[in-house]
Amino acid sequence: MSVSAVSRESTQQRMRICVTGVAGFIGFHIARQLLNQGHEIVGIDSLNDYYDVRLKLDRLELLKHEPKFQFYEIDLASRKVTDGIFAEHRFDLVLHMAAQAGVRYSLENPHAYAESNLVAFLNVLEGCRRSSVNHLVYASSSSVYGDSPKLSLSTCDPVDHPISLYAATKKSNELMAHAYSHLFDLPTTGLRFFTVYGPWGRPDMAIYKFAEAICHGRPIDVYNYGKMRRSFTYIDDVVEGVVRVARQPPARTSDNNPPYRIFNIGSDESVELEQMIVLLEQALGKKAIRNHLPMQAGDVLNTCADIKDLREAVGYAPATTLEEGIEQFVQWYLKYNAR
């Protein structure tokens, strides 16, 4: 965020904000930005072992020294524990970034998605309802669009045919949020993230996995022979969008229009997978060994975010090119892994 934007934010009311998934990639960056703006952050994370917990702990170390940061290691799927957190703290805003992520992992461990993405989300909705939270912003996913034939994906497009359990749970979150917005006037905003990457990124994401394989001279698995396109979105642009959205809760406009909305949050430029690999090679100064494979179950061919609604609502405009973003990621990756 620019200095002027931070300055504008400093004039606004300080809030007590709950950030779930705070040791995760997106939650960590959001919490750090909000702490810099002077807000009080209550961070929640189960620290599960879906990927190396050491990375989550290292992210947490950068937050724990902040005097306005409190951390709870809890599983939001526990109704009693989640109820206790909401009863203890009166949150102005809840940013629910916690989820069981990953399309391919949902083929191996489907029950993890039911617990983390459905049961836990219901508990968060109930906590927000009971404590009259001003705004719930939650993570959805571009995966809800399924294998759409369209290149530019709009929130007006149908999302009734998910092709992975992960996508089905994220669509379910949107439906559950709508019900709570309609029944209880709980302002909710769902954000469909598009292929977020950058420093402190998840090791299961393609850019991180490819960088690691290239550095160690191992082949990279390139699905659909590289003929896939993605709307790669740099983490700083995502954080800027989330913070802007969080400041503006939706309002009920009529009986049939509850305080509910959905936005795409991503880059409106779609890049072929091969182009991303070439940029990684250039940043790392080393060639990749490509292992070309057919399409994998659950994957989609193309994603590109139509962000017109988000741009009009909050002035969102991603500013980081893929070249710049990959260079920043590689600099962090090499430094982090050289320790």
- Is 223 noted as a catalytic residue in this protein? no
Supply the pLDDT for residue 1: 43
Query: 98 with 75: CB under 8 angstroms?
Result: no
Burial of 89 (0-12, 13-18, 19+ CB in 10 A): middle
- Which of 159-163, 183-187, 200-204 is least confident? 159-163
Q: For residue range 6-52, what is the model confidence (pLDDT) as tens digits? A: 434 444 689 999 999 999 999 999 999 999 999 999 999 999 999 99
Q: Which of 166, 234, 316, 333 is catalytic?
A: 166
Residues 137-170 as b/e (b if ≥16 CB within 10 A, e otherwise) read bbbbbbbbbbebeeebbebeeebeebbbbbbbbb
Q: For residue range 210-234, what is the model confidence (pLDDT) as tens digits? A: 999 999 999 999 888 878 888 899 9
User: Using the 8-state DSSP alphabet, how is residue 47 labeled?
Assistant: -
CA atoms within 13 A on the CB side of 126: 17
What is the three-class DSSP state of 219?
strand
Q: Give the confidence band of 4 by pLDDT, cuts at 50, 70, 90.
A: very low
For residue 111, what are its two tokens?
């029950």
Q: For residue range 85-129, what is the model confidence (pLDDT) as tens digits? A: 999 999 999 999 999 988 778 888 999 999 999 999 999 999 999
Residue type, 298: G
Question: CA 107, 111, 117: angle at the middle one, nearest 5?
Answer: 100
Q: Where are the beta strands (DSSP E) in 142-208?
A: 188-193, 196-197
**pTM score, whole prediction:** 0.92
What is the three-class DSSP state of 228?
coil
List domains and CATH numbers for the chain.
3-197+233-267+303-319 (3.40.50.720)
